[in-house]
Amino acid sequence: MQVITDSTVRAVLKERPAISHKGDFGRILIIGGSQQYGGAAIMSAAAAVYAGAGLVSVASDLSILTALHTRLPEAMFIDYHQPFMQWRATIHSADVLVVGPGLGLSSFAAQLLNNLLQTVHPKQTVIIDGSALTLIGREHIPLPNANIILTPHQMEWTRLSNLPIDQQTVAANQAALTAYPNAILVLKKHHTAVYQHQQVQKLTIGGPSMATGGSGDTLTGIIAAFCGQFGTNYQTICAAVYTHSAIADELAKTQYVTLPSQIIQALPHYMAKIAHQS
């Protein structure tokens, strides 16, 4: 198995063209959050903004609007309880869709997810995270013909693959992923691994300081921003995964816990450093 290194990030991250505008760097739509789990969608959106996405919108419960705009005035907001057809055009205009962070497991969430996955078109990237992974496994919701990125932790992967955690070997994971032929799998664990068909690469960085709520939501936002700016491909996703853990490792030199909000704040500085080196 190959190891993801900083050379992957350097190959992806480049200086921005002098003549460019926000539309050049990706339109991201995050569908998630709820009254109970609003912070997940906010962290995912913040990570996308700080990682350089051109435009970020959040479709969520109205209860998180004030918190979102207080924390992240750069993001736009859509009330996902309004009739689906009223914001369907926003879905179609997104380059990258993130669905699941903090969405919950209600019947409303299941219906929203089903409607969304039936609406996307083949050129879009759909990152499926958190609650959406559980809903897909539980409700047997089919995945669309699009660029799919699955970002489960090991228990969520069990729900999708029927593989107990102690049986999640590389070979078993590759075999299970054949059920999702157009998907790239980011399996979050100690030394996170990224799977695409027969290709597997893993991290050797990252550590226990990252074991706190919101780390996965932050990673999802970084992946979304990288795909929006640099295109959806295996190398870009590996670069996003490495960036998340590299920042955390740097913070962990002087901190017992690396908070997701701190990783988010450090993103522009880390990306500038790498881009200048490239």
Binding-site members for AMP are: 188-192, 216
d(CA 49, CA 22): 11
Q: For residues 1 and 193, is the Cβ–Cβ distance under 8 A? A: yes
> How buried is 67 (Cβ within 10 angstroms: 0-12 exposed, 13-18 middle, 19+ buried)?
middle
Binding region: 40, 102, 153, 188-192, 216-217
Which residues, including other chains, have CB under 8 Å from residue 38's CB and lie 6 or more apart?
60, 61, 63, 64, 67, 68, 102
State how far Cα 217 lies from the chain centre.
Answer: 7
Binding region for (6S)-NADPHX: 40, 102, 153, 217
Distances (CA, A) of 259 to 14, 73, 128, 236, 265: 27, 21, 22, 24, 10
Q: For residues 66 and 197, is the Cβ–Cβ distance under 8 A? A: no
